[in-house]
Structure 1
Amino acid sequence: MKFDHIFEPRRPRAYVVLDLESAVTDETGHKRYLAMERWAPRNGEPSRRGYTRSEDPCLTPRWPFQTIVTASIMVLTENDEGGVDVARFTTLSRPDLDERQIVSGILRVLSEAPKEAELVSWAGMLHDGPMLSLAAMRHGLTLPKGWRWLGFGGNDPVRHLDFARTTTGGFKMKPVHMAEILASLDIPAKISVPAFAVARLIYADQWDAVQEACEGDVISTALLLARWRQLHDDRADAGVVEDRILRQVIELRAGRGYTAALQARRQNGFAKAFSTAANDAAGLSPWTEEEEAA
């Protein structure tokens, strides 16, 4: 978290919410690894005694051989009243773009983000950051100025608000799924498909569905950010900030499969707020009901 100097006027903060989807597609790289290990398949036997197939890196390629196939990035900016606006909502994905183009697009968004913008993710220091750095190295790309700390693991607590870390006390509590945290806070998660389905959609080339899943995780993370901000900033109610984000997302992503669910959430929020206001009014001025009855 960034703390400004006490004698300087408070600067509006900006956030870059990022989510990546990836899959093992680098068969050529994995074959190079097998050659380095001097290993060839032998009737399904593991490369090391005691390995199961899923943990054997010779039989099951691990994350270095994954390719980034979809990325979704939302840039959020604060206003003077404490509200938040969606300044940008970008999705980069196959089949239109290859990995180099996707990563180049991510770096472009980072370079164009407001100065000192903070990265926001769920488990980004365990997945998105390392995947992004490795892919940039693979394609000979350079991290933009102000973001080169990502090349050191992406675990800067000042510039990277990783909710998988903050909600578990720095992983001192047992790590949990994002959907568990969001369910406890009544924030929508996995709006279009469950997490386990994304890999199947990637291998089936169902790119619209993959993009919706990636965008859904970014939207959910942005709503978690709205709730988290109120721990430190009481200028705007988290519900008001959430509604503003949802309204702008619905406008920017009209036609997506998840927009109806987001619109329904907004309407439920309006109804709940109206009911609360009516109850408060009745409690504070009970004579109004008597006047209406007369």
Structure 2
Amino acid sequence: MNDKHFSEAQPRCYIVLDVESAVADEAGHRRYQAMERWSGNDDESRRGYKRDDDPLKTPRWPFQTIFAVSVMVLFEHCQGNIHVSRFETFAAPDLDERGLMVALYQVLGELPEGAEIVSWGGGWHDFPLIKIATLRHGLSLPPRFRWMAWSGEGKANHIDLCRVLTGGSKMKPVHMSEYAASLNIPAKITAPPFAVAGLIKGGDFESCQECVEVDVITTVLILARWRKLLDPGARSEVVEDRILRQIEELKGTRRYIPALRAHRAMLQRQMMLAAANDVDAINNEGSIAA
């Protein structure tokens, strides 16, 4: 293959990541309100803002705190398949935000040269949250990932599937679950995205971990489909089946596993049907030749 990224001598390494966060920095938001000389009048909204999106009343993303980070590290096989090397989630209450960043950067620091971060909209969502958390706690980015200090686009080792699958955002960006649904890939299995903040504030961190892991899994399955655009070495169904089997081995007690097992069974039925059709086609060709 001409594409150096898919050469047999240097298989690609991916780290798929996702974060979950919620507004928790109320003190910081009050500082902002004081800077703007806001009177606190409930009927007061600045021109150009609707009442519910006025940042004086509704804290925006700089006041969010990261409560969970999930990462999956994958390596390509020269035959075209993928091996899940590790699948880890770091979350409250075991770790605070600083501890989450330290754990994430330790994983990044252990990756081989050329490893690529994969995300869905990470350059617009996850990276800004990671960077402001890093700044809050006086940390630094790992040496090989300091490109993240900029946009995470261009020549950076970052595959933002939301960007590359929408023509560089020339098509309107869509939710990952929309794109996944169009490809019959499972998403948002355990809870809708709007519920995550409530899970965090309610202290249900196990459910929060499952949500962030499901988002990583969905991203990985979309990645497996995207790779097929470049690499004919393995059928996407075979790659997905292997990924799902390894996830089941690593996270067998999670509540999303039955849904993934059902999806895997559906893939296997599709492969068996395709194989049967191939056999019929070969037999028919043989009959015609005879």
Provide TM-score, normalisation by structure 1. 0.91
1:54 is displaced (CA, Å) by: 2.2
- Per-residue Cα deviation, 1:58-87 (whole angstroms, up to 9, x for no partner): 111111000001111111111221211111
Residue in 1 aligned with 2:31?
Answer: 32
Alignment of 1:19-58 (within 5 A): 19-42=18-41, 44-58=42-56
Seq. identity, %: 51
Aligned residue type for 2:251? R
Q: Is the 8 A contact 1:46 1:56 kept in 2?
A: no
Where does structure 2 lack aligned partners over 5 or more consecutive residues? none
Aligned length: 285
**Which ranges of structure 1 fall in alignment gaps of 5 or more residues?**
289-294
Counterpart in the other structure of 2:86: 88
1:283 paired residue number: 281
Q: 1:156 to 1:236 in 2, by over 3 A?
A: same
CA contact (8 A) 1:68 1:131 kept: yes
Please say if 1:159 is aligned against 2:157. Answer: yes
Structure 2 residue 11 is the aligned partner of structure 1 residue 12: yes
Q: Deviations over 1:177-210 (max 9, x none)?
A: 1111111111111122222222222222211111
| Alpha-carbon spacing, 1:71–1:201, altered in 2? closer, same or farther (3 Å) | same
Specify the code of the residue in structure 2 equivalent to 1:180.
E
Partner of 2:218: 220
Root mean square deviation, CA, Å: 2.1
2:70·2:87 contact (CA, 8 Å) conserved in 1? yes
Q: Distance in 2 between matches of 1:286 and 1:47?
A: 73
Supply the distance in 2 between the matched residues of 1:276 and 1:128 (Cα, whole angstroms).
Answer: 39
Spell out structure 1 runs of 4+ moving beyond 6 A: none
Give the counterpart letter for 2:162 in structure 1. Answer: A
1:81 match: secondary structure: coil
Q: Is the 8 A contact 2:8 2:78 kept in 1?
A: no
The question of 1:261 aligning with 2:259 is answered yes
Q: 1:31 to 1:267 in 2, by over 3 A?
A: same
Given that 2:5 and 2:11 are in contact with CA atoms closer than 8 Å, whether structure 1 keeps it comes out as no
The residue matched to 2:242 in structure 1 has which SS?
helix
What is the deviation of 1:145?
A: 1.1
Q: TM-score, normalised by structure 2?
A: 0.92
Which stretch shows the higher mean deviation, 180-189 or 157-166?
157-166
Cα–Cα, structure 1 residues 176 and 9, in superposed 2: closer, same or farther, change >3 Å? closer
Task: Note the C-alpha offset of 1:153.
Answer: 2.3
Deviation at 1:275, TM superposition (A): 2.2
Q: CA deviation at 1:11?
A: 0.9
Q: After superposition, what is the alpha-carbon deviation per residue over 1:219-265, rounded to whole angstroms, capped at 9, x for unaligned?
A: 01001001100111111111111111101100000110011111111
Q: 1:156 to 1:119 in 2, by over 3 A?
A: farther
